[in-house]
Structure 1
Amino acid sequence: MRDSGLPLSYWTPENYFDNVPQAMRPQASSQTPRKDAACGNKEISKVEMANYKFQTERFLTTLGLNLYDGACWMIASSLYGKHAMVEEYVKNTLIEHKTTGLMDIKADTACVGIYAYGQCPKAHDIFHEGDCGFCYGDSGTDGSLSTENALFFRMISDVYALEGTKDARCPALGNPWTWNDWRPILGENAWASLLGPLQSAFLAADGKADEIPDDSFALVLASNFLPAVRKLLIPNVGCVHYTAHNSYGDTDPDVGGLVSTENNGSLLAGLKALRYVLNAKVASQFKGLLAEVDSLIESVEGCLKQAYDTHLGFFLQGGRYNLTTREFEWNPGTGATGFAVDCQTWVMSALGKARVDAWFGEGTALKVWNKTAEIGGYKVSCDSGRCIPRGVGFSDNKADQVFSGEWTFGAINLLRILSAEYENIDPTMAIQLQADADGMREQITQELTVMVDFDRTPPAPEKQGDSSKAVKYANKRYYIPFGWWANPIPSQASTSWAVFIDSKYNPLMLGVYKLE
């Protein structure tokens, strides 16, 4: 922990980014020249833009906290009984919606109109400076939300301007690099406002959901979050938008039109956690939310059901809603961007085997896992139609093998759930699935677990003295087709998931699975 109480997403070894080969950095050939107000509206060259993207990755990784990572840290810390530390973070950062360097971490700028649909003439291009505000849902100027109900930005930091640096877009001006990630993403918010707080409060109450008080940070954050979910829900589709319209989307003029399957899976897990707590409480001022929570769960489950491609045998990564035509289209299932490992592991962990098999036929959940191992497996062996990986990557992992710590733990979690659900159906299969999970856990120990001597904020809640075990995010630097780089450095999320798995605790299903 730092003095501010803000954990970090990664522990970045000294000079790590300096030593990244040029070929493994953003390339100028893939950049789009553009003008930017930060550089006096001069056109930024492709080379400058590539340098800026690498500079941004370096500082976001070194100085930032992704709120999903923060939620994982909350649950892992709570498993170690560090409840006061978790409450300090929640109160000082989430409830106060600020950090030492960022005075407002909520996407609460009033909606003027949706730029991508010509409703906001103030914006001169897709890289506008926030003139159009954040528009939640598809109702134009009715999409504003108060600070209380607006989404958090997905990444936060104690640093806004980094002294001693030069903005790589226009280094001649001498302006310092400044924090630039202002994206209010559904998935991170589902973890920050539902799963992280509710799981932490549940653990603080010794597993007695009825003893979580109404004024707990968990129920406050959850109730404040629901209006945004309502706004972002797409009528007659059931899916919830990836983000608000006018969120910065790099080269995508309508990132607000996107739908992420994993984000909806995380939301489903969080909504189920909230329902579990509300059902357990005998009397609560929040009981009136139950009908709405039930309705949202039904809608999101319907969305995830649509995401399953019966021909391909897996859940598609996401889709897009067109506000003009009122039509929704799933992304094609071919290629790396159509298949994501976590859209299988997390989604099925949130749904459960029984629901997946009831929708698509007995044994479907097991078949989806086998397909996931076949496509996304690391050091996978397939024999007689059964695939056994030693880990997983992020997407199609056949041509360029990458080993993800965090996503492999998510796969282990799913296998443990399936094993538990098969105990009374097929004991032999239950044993096999548990053995497969154990094999992946051992591979993480062998390849991704390191002992780190910390000279600043550690990623591991079990820190003892000046050193601790930590788990790397991946085994190598690798561009993930969904828009970010994996790095072989100690990770908050990977290390927290190690705590979940080794504690036999399922963070995606509050109160239902304690996986012994």
Structure 2
Amino acid sequence: MKIPSECAVCLVFAFLFQSIVSAEDLSRHHPAKDHHLVNWIQSQKSRVTGFPLSFGMADNQREDVLQRMGNSDSVTGIIERIIVEEGTSVYDTAVWQIALAALGGEENIRAASVPIETYWRGSLRHLHNIRAGRGGGQTFIYDRDQPDAISSDLTDLGRRGFVFRIINAHGKYLAADPLDGKHRFSGFPNWPDIHWEDWKPIAGENAWVVIAAMQIYHHKYFDYETGQYRHAAEPVELALAKEIARAAIHLQANNGAVRMAPIGTYFFSLDEISGGTAREVAAELDEKAMASKESYERLVREWGEERTILQSEHTTWYYDEISTENNLSWFTAFKLLYEVTEDPEYRLAMLRIERYLKSVWNADEHYFYQGAHFTDGFWQPNSEHFATDVQTWAICKLGPERLDEWFGEGAAFRIWQTTKEFAGVFDDGRRLQGVGYTREKNRLSVEWTVGAIYAMDELAKYYEDSHPEWSRSALQEAKLMRRGIETYRQQVSETRSAYSYSSRRGWIPFGWFSHDKEVLSLVSSCWVLLHDKGFNPFRLMRNK
């Protein structure tokens, strides 16, 4: 890895300074564009439920985009198309809620409150239970020593589990393949009627449910004059945040980290995906899904369902897996809860996560490992794939000061240099455009690039006095990346515009596909809006 010399940084900065406009300047000089972005974000939701839709497509591009998501007879393709057409990630929803809260106004706050009220109720139309726990036909276990600690009983307020990570935004269970309209497929999981088929209570997404709830709680009840929260009974935002945080604490492992998901969360691809084109990966996923289904059903016949859930690798893999990104998100969620409640339990949870984070630091190359897996009685760091968002969010959520205290002066800056070297995307003139998902140079993630821009803001502020050349470099690269993502802004109509999910379709080694630039992304668009407004979701604003 090469860190630019101070002289080189200054020369580049001097050359580019006059020609680059900041994100603030972009929004100031293009108010109509900002208004168009707000219009799309506000309108990108189900008319039936009020939940946002994670993705959008122009009508004249829809068929081509759907065809690139696998063949008509691909189970992987069918499921992905339904998610893109009708799904909402609860993480995307959370960022959307925070964006609406940042915009302010009664109508936006009402819209942002709909998911919170729904999660607390625990059902959404035909989806009768969207909270994962034990009992009532569910077997999700967060703590082997206390298997009944987290309940799936929707009346057991305060003891319920995570929200499933992706739900149908319209509250539908039965579905049709958006490619050709078919309602039945003989190879579809569980039964041939095509239906919603993603039931994973993942820790990271639920951390964002808490972050959004705390931001909206703060917006509604914080009195800026007194510095106090004003309400009588405990509001639903705070009650929901506490309930989900309780489940996360039960998931904390002995190394301090929040596990990725409870026992009972199904995972079929136990071996590494071999790679190839998106269609080849989809075909491989189809084969793995069928093989794991047969293996799992055989175990159920031999062992019974309860023992299979508790012992099969298919239903314990997530429990034995840790995501560093998930834990950075939970660090923020616990921090916001601690700031509001002053409950020491949340501070202890943060300290445990800190212990884990220090254990997955790669001191030789200056970055955090993507996660860890419990193997042969030990937590082994996952060193196979570099995760870009782990690095940028570490800078944003932990802060450069803490990182430098842990790993030595300049650690936060070196994390960024490693990230840029491994995942930076450059134009033909070697100007930084953004970042990819992993070690790659030919795919840009709009969402993760905005995360990198936020990280540059943190570096610029922290090093302004101690290392002004690093600070100037960070400011310069933030401006370059903010300009770079404008390539992926699309005018949807005369009054609406949005940002793409990514620059091209392909497999991401962390378990999902990126999309062609024709696929519009709610979370990308919301992150751009938040950054341009100067709103930081990782903190509670104490001053107006």
2:325 pairs with 1:262? yes
Contact 2:490 2:499 in 1 (8 A): yes
2:439 pairs with 1:427? no
* Partner residue in 1 for 2:335: 272
* SS of residue in 2 equivalent to 1:178: coil
* Partner residue in 1 for 2:503: 475
* SS of residue in 2 equivalent to 1:390: strand
Contact 1:276 1:511 in 2 (8 A): no
Q: Distance in 2 between matches of 1:513 and 1:492?
A: 28
Q: Distance in 2 between matches of 1:167 and 1:513?
A: 55
Q: Distance in 1 between matches of 2:238 and 2:245?
A: 11
2:205 pairs with 1:216? no
Q: Distance in 1 between matches of 2:403 and 2:542?
A: 17
2:466 pairs with 1:448? no
- Alignment-mate amino acid for residue 332 of structure 2: A
Match of 1:299 among 346, 352, 366: 352
Q: Percent identity?
A: 29
Contact 1:166 1:174 in 2 (8 A): no
Contact 2:132 2:152 in 1 (8 A): no
Match of 2:399 among 352, 359, 365: 352
- Alignment-mate amino acid for residue 161 of structure 1: L
* Partner residue in 2 for 1:250: 268
* Partner residue in 1 for 2:144: 138
2:128 pairs with 1:103? yes
Q: CA deviation at 1:420?
A: 1.1
* SS of residue in 2 equivalent to 1:329: strand
* Partner residue in 2 for 1:341: 388
- Alignment-mate amino acid for residue 55 of structure 2: Y
* Runs of 4+ with >4 A deviation: 24-27
- Alignment-mate amino acid for residue 251 of structure 1: S
Match of 2:418 among 355, 371, 389: 371
Q: CA deviation at 1:319?
A: 1.1
- Per mean C-alpha deviation after superposition, the further-off stretch among 211-220 and 56-65 is 211-220
Q: Distance in 1 between matches of 2:410 and 2:186?
A: 53
- Alignment-mate amino acid for residue 90 of structure 1: I
* SS of residue in 1 equivalent to 2:88: strand
Match of 2:438 among 395, 398, 405: 395
- Alignment-mate amino acid for residue 10 of structure 1: F
Change (3 A) 1:298 1:212: farther
- Per mean C-alpha deviation after superposition, the further-off stretch among 242-251 and 422-431 is 422-431
Q: CA deviation at 1:490?
A: 1.1
* Partner residue in 1 for 2:367: 314
* Partner residue in 2 for 1:85: 111
- Any gaps of 5 or more consecutive residues in structure 1? 28-46, 112-129, 280-289, 454-465
Q: Distance in 1 between matches of 2:468 and 2:219?
A: 31
- Per mean C-alpha deviation after superposition, the further-off stretch among 64-73 and 195-204 is 195-204
Contact 2:133 2:151 in 1 (8 A): yes
* Partner residue in 2 for 1:234: 253
Contact 2:321 2:372 in 1 (8 A): yes
Q: Distance in 2 between matches of 1:269 and 1:449?
A: 29
Q: Distance in 2 between matches of 1:433 and 1:67?
A: 31
Contact 1:505 1:513 in 2 (8 A): no
Q: CA deviation at 1:472?
A: 0.7
Contact 1:55 1:168 in 2 (8 A): no
* SS of residue in 2 equivalent to 1:255: coil
Q: Distance in 2 between matches of 1:250 and 1:432?
A: 44
Q: CA deviation at 1:513?
A: 11
Give the TM-score normalised by the residue count of structure 1: 0.78
Match of 1:8 among 53, 65, 71: 53
Change (3 A) 1:271 1:513: farther
Q: CA deviation at 1:216?
A: 2.3
* SS of residue in 2 equivalent to 1:391: strand
Contact 2:52 2:93 in 1 (8 A): yes
Q: Distance in 1 between matches of 2:471 and 2:195?
A: 51
- Alignment-mate amino acid for residue 98 of structure 1: S
Contact 1:136 1:145 in 2 (8 A): no
> C-alpha root-mean-square deviation of aligned residues, in Å?
2.7
The residue correspondences of 1:492-507 to structure 2 (distance < 5 A) are 492-507=522-537
Contact 2:388 2:419 in 1 (8 A): yes
* Partner residue in 2 for 1:327: 378
Contact 2:460 2:471 in 1 (8 A): yes
Match of 1:203 among 213, 219, 222: 219
Q: CA deviation at 1:212?
A: 5.4
Higher relative contact order, chain-length normalized (CA < 8 Å, sep 6+): 2
- Alignment-mate amino acid for residue 259 of structure 1: I
* SS of residue in 2 equivalent to 1:509: coil
Q: CA deviation at 1:197?
A: 1.2
Change (3 A) 1:276 1:90: same
- Alignment-mate amino acid for residue 298 of structure 1: L
Q: CA deviation at 1:485?
A: 0.9
Select the structure that is richer in helix. Answer: 2
- Alignment-mate amino acid for residue 292 of structure 1: E
* SS of residue in 2 equivalent to 1:177: coil
The residue correspondences of 1:4-153 to structure 2 (distance < 5 A) are 4-14=49-59, 16=61, 18-20=63-65, 25=69, 48=73, 51-81=74-104, 82-91=108-117, 93-110=118-135, 133-139=139-145, 141-142=147-148, 144-147=150-153, 148=157, 149-153=160-164
* Partner residue in 2 for 1:162: 175
* Partner residue in 1 for 2:15: none
Q: Distance in 1 between matches of 2:475 and 2:143?
A: 42
Change (3 A) 1:498 1:205: farther
- Alignment-mate amino acid for residue 135 of structure 1: I
Q: Distance in 1 between matches of 2:223 and 2:513?
A: 37
Q: CA deviation at 1:232?
A: 0.5
Q: Distance in 1 between matches of 2:223 and 2:242?
A: 21
- Alignment-mate amino acid for residue 219 of structure 2: L
* SS of residue in 1 equivalent to 2:129: coil
* Partner residue in 1 for 2:292: none
